[in-house]
């Protein structure tokens, strides 16, 4: 059992979100969202948050970070922060630190959230105890599984956002040569995140021989949804199509009859595009198992702080979850 009060934190590449759990029964005390670029270290961000708005000092913290958790120094994938639990114990007055992957927290949220925080994109009914998949295009592309065994939910973290992506249609073969690569390859994260949408838009513009008009993901998605720019419309359509392809692949990997869950701000903003047909068609185009995919529901998580909800559920009711914290749990001597 964690020692209350517990500071919970969802640490992404762009934003860090914190809340304080006074005890297992009280609702979380929310803090303003922190921009990672505004602080040199996560310790500074935590200290500023606690000093300004916390009703009391935390004794423990559970942090979900965007990157693999390995060792006593944990670098984030898409920002310059490094989480150093031993330093936190020494300098922040904490007695206990637990660090998990950010999409473990998103997977925990899937088990914690109710239907009022979900918007369904096709498919049938979710099977209550069946496996699930969480997929989140944001600053990067996060992926996790969630399986139910022996009466508990077990999150399965990974780096599935870095799997290979390739062209399928004749138009894909015109556009893919213009997509920016990393060390010669195109991964899911090169296409299916904020900068990925920009990559797609620029690739479409180059394939069409026109100069790009936009440089920000929000500009591209807004123009696409408004129908005001041909290249933006096509870029967003490729985005939702390829997201559907990858979501369908992951649904097959986990046989996720409990559903596939799309999380993060991008998914929430492009719900009209996700409902437009291309996403679901790509998701189900998995012969010889298309009939299976047609029954699997996809949901957009609409909760604004889903990862924190997952961390709160774990901190308050750890017996519901099979979270292995071996080598990810630090105690003060």
**CATH assignment of the domain containing 268:** 3.40.367.20
Residue 244 lies inside a defined structural domain of this protein: yes
297 and 150, same structural domain?
Answer: yes
123 and 51, same structural domain?
Answer: no
**CATH assignment of the domain containing 43:** 3.30.420.40
Look over the chain and give the mean of its residue pLDDT values, rounded to a whole number: 93
d(CA 30, CA 18) in angstroms, rounded, equals 7
Encode pLDDT of 59-100 as tens digits.
999 999 987 888 899 998 778 999 999 999 999 989 999 999
245 and 209, same structural domain?
Answer: yes
- Inform me whether the pLDDT recorded for 1 exceeds 80: no
Confidence of residue 199 (pLDDT cuts 50, 70, 90): very high
**Residue 132, SS3 per DSSP:** strand
293 and 159, same structural domain?
Answer: yes
Question: Can you give the residue range of the structural domain that contains 151?
Answer: 115-301
Residue 284 lies inside a defined structural domain of this protein: yes
190 and 126, same structural domain?
Answer: yes
Residue 1 lies inside a defined structural domain of this protein: no
- Inform me whether the pLDDT recorded for 142 exceeds 80: yes
Encode pLDDT of 22-64 as tens digits.
999 988 998 999 999 999 999 999 999 887 777 888 999 999 9
Residue 114: the pLDDT is 87
202 and 119, same structural domain?
Answer: yes
Residue 83: the pLDDT is 96
78 versus 243: the higher-pLDDT residue is 243
164 and 30, same structural domain?
Answer: no
- Inform me whether the pLDDT recorded for 320 exceeds 80: yes
Residue 234 lies inside a defined structural domain of this protein: yes
58 and 122, same structural domain?
Answer: no
CB atoms within 10 A of CB 323: 20
CB atoms within 10 A of CB 116: 7
With tokens 């299976």, the residue in question is 292
284 and 194, same structural domain?
Answer: yes
- Inform me whether the pLDDT recorded for 108 exceeds 80: yes
- Inform me whether the pLDDT recorded for 125 exceeds 90: yes
19 and 37, same structural domain?
Answer: yes
> Cα–Cα–Cα angle for 299, 300, 306, nearest 5°?
115
327: DSSP letter: T
193 and 60, same structural domain?
Answer: no
52 and 133, same structural domain?
Answer: no
> 74-111 as b/e, with b when 16 or more CB fall inside 10 Å?
bebbbbebebbbebbbeebebebbbbbbbbbbbbbbbb
Residue 258 lies inside a defined structural domain of this protein: yes
The total number of structural domains in the chain stands at 2
pTM: 0.91
284 versus 332: the higher-pLDDT residue is 284
């Amino acid at each position: 059992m964690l020692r209350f009060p517990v500071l919970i934190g969802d640490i992404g590449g762009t934003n860090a979100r914190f809340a304080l759990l006074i005890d297992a029964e009280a609702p979380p005390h929310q803090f303003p969202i922190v921009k990672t670029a505004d602080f040199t270290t996560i310790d500074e961000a935590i200290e500023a948050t606690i000093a300004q708005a916390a009703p009391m000092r935390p004794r423990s913290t559970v942090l979900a970070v965007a990157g693999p958790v390995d060792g006593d120094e944990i670098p984030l994938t898409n920002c310059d922060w490094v989480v150093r639990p031993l330093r936190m114990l020494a300098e922040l007055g904490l007695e206990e630190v637990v660090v998990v992957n950010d999409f473990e927290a998103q997977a925990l949220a899937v088990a914690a959230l109710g239907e009022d925080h979900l918007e369904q994109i096709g498919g049938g009914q979710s099977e209550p105890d069946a496996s699930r998949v969480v997929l989140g295009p944001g600053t990067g592309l996060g992926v996790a599984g969630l399986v139910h065994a022996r009466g508990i939910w077990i999150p399965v973290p990974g780096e599935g956002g870095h799997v290979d992506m390739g062209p399928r249609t004749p138009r894909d073969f015109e556009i893919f040569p213009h997509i920016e690569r990393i060390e010669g390859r195109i991964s899911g994260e090169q296409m299916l995140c904020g900068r990925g949408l920009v990559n797609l838009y620029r690739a479409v513009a180059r394939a069409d021989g026109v100069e790009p008009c936009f440089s920000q993901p929000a500009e591209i998605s807004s123009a696409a949804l408004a129908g005001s720019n041909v290249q933006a419309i096509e870029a967003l359509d490729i985005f939702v199509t390829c997201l559907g392809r990858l979501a369908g692949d992951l649904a097959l990997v986990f046989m996720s009859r409990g559903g596939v869950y799309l999380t993060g701000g991008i998914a929430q903003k492009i719900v009209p595009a996700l409902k437009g047909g291309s996403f679901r068609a790509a998701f189900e185009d998995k012969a010889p198992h298309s009939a299976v995919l047609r029954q699997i529901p996809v949901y957009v998580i609409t909760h604004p702080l889903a990862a924190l909800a997952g961390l709160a559920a774990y901190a308050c009711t750890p017996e519901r979850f099979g979270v292995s914290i071996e080598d990810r749990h630090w105690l003060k001597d």
